[in-house]
Structure 1
Amino acid sequence: MTTLRLDDRNQAVLLLQKQLNAQGAGLYLDGHYGEATTKAVQAFQRRAGLVSDGIAGPKTLAALAGQDTGHLLKQRDLERAAERLGVPLASVMAVNLVESKGEGFLANGRPVILFERHVMRERLLEHRYVLPGLASSEATAEALAARYPGLVNLRPGGYAGCAAEHQRLAQARQIHDSAGLESASWGLFQIMGYHWRRLGYASVQAFAHCMAESETQQLEAFVRFIEADQALHKALQGRRWAEFAKRYNGPAYAKNFYDVKLARAYAQFSNKEQAA
């Protein structure tokens, strides 16, 4: 689904303006996503309880169409996260805009995941899983990699995307349930399942259940992830975006301009807070 934002000019914006006017916005129908349209989107988002960022993404458009948004992230969730982490709301909104996948659930209602076959191999070794007739977990990993290279492998890859990732996960869980769940990244912020213990969940199954419940729970996992890494938490509190991006995204953060995007998003949301 299309995402519409400031300065867009097209028929989709015109349709958006008509939908907002049906909600009482009183916009001039010119097909231009200007400041007036941005403010009207924010006003609707606040009434709907959605994240009030002024961007008409799939969630906002779904709400305008009358679809159920009960499982989606709410503005109050970000406010609580900001208070808990001891940072301005603009910081949490910037991280949500730049670091999240935008949507935590697929159209079929399942959480967004990405199964990592190289992690599956590592987790099988970690669990010391041994197939009958084989001498060690290493021999088991090699045998499974030869038989199911799309599920167990030394190298990353083999992604199927979207709903098909759940098929890969289901197959991996037949090999070893916990290792399979631990080998997927989950939800809005793509938290790897193997972090479950460090984040305070009773089991990886409990973690996966929470990730399938709502985007609020997915944000909760992300907040726990930040709290569990003191250096990451301090970087966020100090708005040291390059350090935060490096610790969260890895050394390739600069190539993707994550730090620049975070700084710009923070400035954008901070200015909106001050204006409000």
Structure 2
Amino acid sequence: MTILRRGDVGAEVRELQRLLRLRGASLDLTAEYGDSTLAAVRSAQERYGLVVDGVAGPKTLFALQVNGKQPTHLGMADLRRAADELAVPLAAVRAVNEVESRGTGFLADGRPVILFERHIMYRQLRGARLDADGLARKFPNVVNPLRGGYVGGTGEHTRLAAAWRLDSACALASASWGQFQVMGYHWELLGFASVEDFADAMRLNEAAQLDAFVRFILADPALHRALKAGQWGTFARLYNGPAYKENLYDVKLARAFARYQLEEKEAA
């Protein structure tokens, strides 16, 4: 559990300062928790109705991440908007939401659902020309040429935090985020200014997570065509990878689509 206070230094303090700047504070990214950071934390705590103690614990960090707003769940209006943007039947979006999503985009503590991929972290570090092999020897649970090490739930945030200390941008890019588990390294493809902006959006609400999914579909013409045509085998292969048949994703999608189509026809 991260708790930052006056006198602390390091990458986590720099991330706190970045969040404070994102919420309007005038701060330099010094990575030192000095007087100006203390004042900014106290100001944020007062604004968000928290205990004003100048200590950046889980509640303060979460409030900064979501700008004081509790994450909201998807509604039918969100799904209809996504269907319109994709120019596909509403039943198709409902089917994907049922089969491909994790059911909820947030953990019980309000943080977004993530899955940290250590093999992607290894790849991202190599792409950044950092010592991926050396870091893999020291931190094999978060940097590794082989996939694995998953613990699920809040434990994935612990793994992300460990990777974040090695390189923040590579770490954020190496996790899949939210209800539709969109990978962070797609941030530029999806039109975000940075991987940090992408992660901030994924912390907002499930509608923002759905928007990232829509952007992802629109950025891949073959995936978009498959969704439009109801070619569930092709869609599942492109979205889930070659192992999609093991989980019967194509069968589940086809069945859900047919069920929602019938439901909508009967309701018309």
Deviation at 1:255, TM superposition (A): 2.1
Aligned match for 1:209, one of 200, 208, 216: 200
**SS, match of residue 233 in structure 1:** helix
Residues 178-211 of structure 1: CA distance to partner in whole angstroms, max 9, x if unpaired? 0000000000111110000011000000000000
Equivalent-residue separation in structure 1 for 2:104 and 2:150 (angstroms): 19
Equivalent-residue separation in structure 1 for 2:152 and 2:231 (angstroms): 33
Check whether the contact 2:71–2:206 (CA below 8 A) recurs between aligned residues: no
What is the letter of the counterpart of residue 194 of structure 2? Answer: S
Deviation at 1:89, TM superposition (A): 0.4
Match of 2:139 in 1: 148
Check whether the contact 2:70–2:110 (CA below 8 A) recurs between aligned residues: no
Is residue 89 of structure 1 aligned with residue 80 of structure 2? Answer: no
Is residue 264 of structure 1 aligned with residue 255 of structure 2? Answer: yes
Aligned match for 1:234, one of 220, 225, 229: 225
Residues 108-156 of structure 1: CA distance to partner in whole angstroms, max 9, x if unpaired? 0000001111110100111122xxxxxxxxxx11111111111111111
Is residue 115 of structure 1 aligned with residue 116 of structure 2? Answer: yes
Check whether the contact 2:116–2:175 (CA below 8 A) recurs between aligned residues: yes
Deviation at 1:254, TM superposition (A): 1.7
Match of 2:126 in 1: 125
- The alignment's C-alpha RMSD in Å is 1.2
Deviation at 1:70, TM superposition (A): 5.8
Equivalent-residue separation in structure 1 for 2:165 and 2:242 (angstroms): 34
**SS, match of residue 176 in structure 2:** strand
Is residue 98 of structure 1 aligned with residue 99 of structure 2? Answer: yes
**SS, match of residue 204 in structure 2:** coil
Equivalent-residue separation in structure 2 for 1:264 and 1:204 (angstroms): 35
The two structures have a TM-score, normalised by structure 2, of 0.73
Match of 1:166 in 2: 157
Match of 1:36 in 2: none
**SS, match of residue 140 in structure 2:** coil
Q: Per the alignment, do residues 213 and 126 of structure 1 end up closer, same or farther by CA in structure 2, a change over 3 Å counting?
A: same
Residues 60-102 of structure 1: CA distance to partner in whole angstroms, max 9, x if unpaired? xxxxxxxx98611111000000011111100100010000000
What is the letter of the counterpart of residue 109 of structure 2? Answer: N
Q: Which runs of 4+ in 1 moved over 4 A?
A: none
Equivalent-residue separation in structure 1 for 2:258 and 2:248 (angstroms): 16
Structure 1, unaligned runs of 5 or more: 1-67, 130-139
Alignment of 1:32-43 (within 5 A): none
Aligned pairs, number: 199
What is the letter of the counterpart of residue 80 of structure 2? Answer: E
Equivalent-residue separation in structure 1 for 2:202 and 2:222 (angstroms): 25
Structure 2, unaligned runs of 5 or more: 1-68
What is the letter of the counterpart of residue 83 of structure 1? Answer: D
Is residue 184 of structure 1 aligned with residue 179 of structure 2? Answer: no
Equivalent-residue separation in structure 2 for 1:254 and 1:180 (angstroms): 30
What is the letter of the counterpart of residue 204 of structure 1? Answer: V
Equivalent-residue separation in structure 2 for 1:89 and 1:73 (angstroms): 14
Residues 203-229 of structure 1: CA distance to partner in whole angstroms, max 9, x if unpaired? 000000000000000000000000000
Q: Which structure has the larger Rg over C-alpha atoms?
A: 1
Equivalent-residue separation in structure 1 for 2:192 and 2:203 (angstroms): 14
Equivalent-residue separation in structure 2 for 1:245 and 1:255 (angstroms): 11
